[in-house]
Amino acid sequence: MKKDIHPKNYRFVVFKDMSNDYAFLTRSTAFSKEKIKWEDGEEYPLIKLEISHTSHPFFTGKQKLVDSAGRVDKYRSKYKKHIKDEKS
């Protein structure tokens, strides 16, 4: 493994999902001007997230299924004069 390629300035940072107010404390080198008071009474840098595992559709089970068959049919009907007949 190469030496001196990893940052040495890891510190505790709070990441907060702004869509559902879920927050977690972890170590990071990410920079932030904002701070937040955590459950332990200490202040930590705050990194705001748009989405996390608590709000992402894949992890919450609210994922929409795409109607790919309908899209293919729409494409074929739109460009049928440019597509060679598959039967011939």
Q: pLDDT value at position 88?
A: 45
pLDDT at 63: 59
Conformation bin of residue 61: beta by default, left when phi > 0, alpha when psi is -120 to 50? left
Q: What is the pLDDT of residue 85?
A: 59
DSSP strand pairing (22-28 vs 43-49): unpaired
pLDDT at position 6, please? 86
The pLDDT profile of the chain, 88 residues, written as one tens digit per residue, is 788 888 888 999 999 988 888 899 999 999 999 999 999 999 999 999 888 777 766 656 665 556 666 777 788 888 888 776 555 4
